[in-house]
Amino acid sequence: IKKLAVLTSGGDAPGMNVAIRAVVRTAIYHGIEVVGVMEGYAGMIRNDFRPMKSRDVSDIISKGGTILKTARCEEFRTKEGRAIAYENAKAQGIDALVVIGGDGSFQGAKLFSEEFDIPTVGIPGTIDNDLFGTDSTIGYDTALNTVVSAVDKIRDTATSHKRVFFVEVMGRDAGFLALRSGIGSGAEAILIPEVQTPYDKLKQFLNDKTKGHKSSSIVIVAEGAEGMKEGGVFKLAERVNEDYPELDIRVSVLGHMQRGGAPSAFDRVLASQLGEAAVVALMDDQQSVMVGIQNNKISHVPFNQAIKNKKNVNLDLLKLAEILSI
């Protein structure tokens, strides 16, 4: 390869900057020219390419977000949109592409690399950790730490007032963040999309805890958990409160703060390794793969598998939460 483009796409995640830095510097190290694409696929279609030198990625290792910005781009879902992106990239002399993003971004990358002669490699960047083929995605560990420290603070006030808190965390389709942050923060119950928790069980559960004279209870609720469709976490809390008026229930929605902040040391190392691995994979003539790390080893997973195969949450952790919250 002579000239490589890198972009970030879909939801942002802490550590994306670290991955950009690693891609840029690894490429330059190997004598490959690099350009950054602004705002993901939208920048390819809009012809927004910026040359990247080693110093352009100075001092971003500790910064959340992405200096290349990110966007959702409807036009790239169409063949015509992707053709414009290709023509623009070709005119720039780009002969390889690195896409940092989630499964939607990889679906786009898969189509693009099947349709045109620009080999593409993906780097998993999402706080959801919902990509098959890597033990962890970039941003997940940072988001976990953010949630745990936020819940620690909520716990202080919950305990002072003997309250029950329903804390909503991100995860419309996957419960990884909710599950691990629940264990890490000593939650009394964890509701995730992968497991149906009958309402009665939740009620019973809270009743047991409060009867046991716990000074506070934290229920971690993933956005996509059972019972969240009909009115969300506020509605859920309201329902429980109607059945147990004696409980002092509050709700906290953590929201977008879960996406921000300085990447954790773990995410920095992961993003550095995956950034290098993506460039090396392209130099080795690999394409249409996502690079990941499984059991401490770099893996190359075809886009197809990364998108279609489902990564399973560790359900033992749910039982663990139950055991440890008696």
Known catalytic residues are 128
> Taking the alpha carbons of 68, 18, 109, 51 in that order, is the dihedral positive or negative?
positive
- Distance (Å, rounded) from C-alpha 189 to C-alpha 169? 13
Q: Decide if residue 273 touches ligand ATP (CB under 6 A).
A: no
Closest approach, Cβ 74 to ligand ATP, in A, equals 7
Do 147 and 181 form a contact (C-beta atoms < 8 A)? yes
- 36 touches ligand ATP by CB under 6 A: no
Tell me the C-alpha distance between 220 and 191, whole Å: 6
36 annotated to bind ligand: no
Contact between 134 and ligand ATP by CB under 6 A: the answer reads no
Could you tell me the smallest distance in angstroms from the CB atom of residue 261 to ligand ATP? 16
Among 3, 72, 162, 235, binds ligand ATP (CB under 6 A): 72
Q: Looking at 51-59, 72-80, 218-226, 230-238, which segment touches ligand ATP (CB under 6 A)? A: 72-80
Q: Can you read off the two tokens belonging to residue 230?
A: 């009909």
Under the binding rule (CB under 6 A), the answer on residue 104 touching ligand ATP is yes
Provide the β-strand partners of residue 101: 124
Q: Cβ closer to ligand ATP: 120 or 210?
A: 120
The sign of the torsion formed by the CA atoms of 90, 91, 93, 99 equals negative
Known binding residue 127? Answer is yes
Q: How many chain residues interact with ligand ATP (CB under 6 A)?
A: 18
Q: Is 275 annotated for ligand binding?
A: no
Cα–Cα distance measured from residue 34 to residue 286, given in angstroms and rounded to the nearest whole number: 18
> Can you list the positions of beta strands (E) in the chain?
3-8, 33-37, 49-51, 96-101, 120-124, 164-169, 189-191, 217-222, 249-253, 289-294, 297-302
Known binding residue 24? Answer is yes
**Dihedral, CA of residue 110, residue 113, residue 114 and residue 119, to nearest 10:** -120
The one among 14, 15, 36, 108 contacting ligand ATP by CB under 6 A: 108
Q: Does 146 bind ligand ATP (CB under 6 A)?
A: no
The distance of closest approach from Cβ of residue 259 to ligand ATP in the complex, given in angstroms and rounded to an integer, is 9
128 labelled ligand-binding: yes
Q: Please enumerate in sequence order all residues whose Cβ is within 8 A of that of 40, keeping only pairs 6 or more positions apart, or say none.
A: 7, 8, 9, 10, 68, 69, 70, 71, 72, 73, 101, 105
Mask 223-262, x = binds ligand ATP (CB under 6 A)? ----------------------------------------
CB of 110 to ligand ATP, least distance (A): 8
Q: Looking at 104-112, 146-154, 250-258, 270-278, which segment touches ligand ATP (CB under 6 A)?
A: 104-112
Q: Which residues define the annotated binding site for substrate?
A: 126-128, 163, 170-172, 223, 250, 256-259
Q: Please report, as ranges, the residues that interact with ligand ATP according to CB under 6 A.
A: 9-11, 41, 72-73, 76-77, 101-105, 107-108, 111, 126, 128
